[in-house]
Amino acid sequence: MAKSSRPVLGALLAALLSLAPAAAGHGAPAGTVFWVDPDSAAARQAAAYRAQGRTADAALVDRIATRPQAVWLGGADPGPTARAVTEAAARAGSTAVLVTYYIPHRDCGSYSAGGAPDAAAYRAYIDSLVSGLGSGGAYVVVEPDAVASAVAGCPGADIEERYALLAYAVQRLAARPGTRVYLDAGNAGWIPDPARLVDPLRRSGVAAATGIALNVANYRTNSETSAYGHRLLAALGGAPHFVIDSSRNGNGPYEGTDAWCNPPGRALGTPPTTGSADPALDAYLWIKRPGESDGTCRGGPPAGQWWESGALELARNSPARLTGAPAPRGSGPRAA
């Protein structure tokens, strides 16, 4: 995901944005608390360490386990999981963050290859997800890498079909009450010229979205990503908002080969929050779940699987500000 090393939104018109239920009201609701999965892989790892008497390691992994993280929905029928997660978040007085990840030719055949077999299956996937969303709302990040990889080159993918499917996803999700939709737009190191993303994002339904998501599963700094986000907003003609994945960017990007894939020496970044002095920046989110592998590179397990040693390194390298009081824990079922 978010392969910036491969060979390599001032104002979307207010009239257009007023048509999008998710975008109404503009900035993120003040004081939003994001849901913490009480049975995440990180939480289970910390519990195991405590049972083994490894209290120092448990405390390190708690830097991950006690923070809100997104739930990735990669199977054909995400409705039941979406319902379980959003209901658990509602019981906890918090808001779930979900990620759609089932576009045909997902990851363009790389480590996270897969996705829907065809367009009809993808539309059925989105319909299932929409059916699982309650009235309490959620933040939904739509298809990491899908637009940027189409721009960069995605062999085998039908690009026109991809844009149409993304627009379908954005429009269906944005129609749900309280749902804030962020269409993924890659990262600052992947498509350096934001102008190249303008037409693809428009064709992918960005006008109906709350905004765009940046830096998903990547390591670019907040400052670089924010500056890039504002350039992209301006190029789009004024779409108002973006979110940043700050899950693993505490030490910035790796300056070496395969910099996107399990790079060494990285650290946790800004904990999830809607607190920002930038009116265009709706939230810092942990979209990529820290401690999960990017793929079978540098000794990691398959993409998306928990990687104990990688999680410990991220936590050990994390800034001191992450050791403070965590967000409240959620309640409910495991969000796998």
Q: Dump pLDDT digits (tens) for 236-266.
A: 997 679 999 999 999 999 999 999 999 999 9
Mean pLDDT of 286-310: 96
Which is higher by pLDDT, 336 or 306? 306
pLDDT at 7 > cutoff 80? no
Q: What is the pLDDT averaged over residues 143-167?
A: 96
pLDDT of 188 over the 60 cut = yes
145 is catalytic: yes
Selected residue with higher pLDDT from 135 and 231: 231
pLDDT of residue 27: 63
Is 107 labeled as catalytic in the residue annotation? yes
Over pLDDT 90: what percentage of the chain?
A: 80
pLDDT the model gives residue 19: 30
pTM: 0.89
Residue 211, helix vs strand vs coil? strand
Decide if pLDDT at 22 tops 80: no
For range 44-51, the mean pLDDT: 98
Regarding predicted confidence, which is higher, 29 or 288?
288
**Measured at the alpha carbon of residue 321, what is the angle toward residues 185 and 181, in degrees to the nearest 5?**
25
Catalytic residue among 37, 184, 245, 294: 294
Q: Which of 37, 57, 107, 245 is catalytic?
A: 107
For a pLDDT cut of 70, what percent of the chain falls above it? 86
Q: What is the pLDDT of residue 320?
A: 61
Say if residue 28's pLDDT is above 80. Answer: no
The whole-number pLDDT of residue 107 equals 82
Query: Taking all residues of the chain, what is their mean pLDDT, rounded to a whole number?
Result: 88
Q: Indicate the pLDDT class of residue 137, thresholds 50, 70 and 90.
A: confident
DSSP conformation letters of 296-313: SSTT--STTSB-HHHHHH
pLDDT value of position 46: 98
pLDDT at residue 160 in the model: 97
| 282 catalytically annotated | no
Task: Please name the residues in contact with 302: beta carbons below 8 A apart, sequence gap of 6 or more.
Answer: 111, 293, 295, 296
Catalytic residue among 145, 184, 245, 282: 145
Among 121, 123, 81, 139, smallest CA distance to 283 is for 139
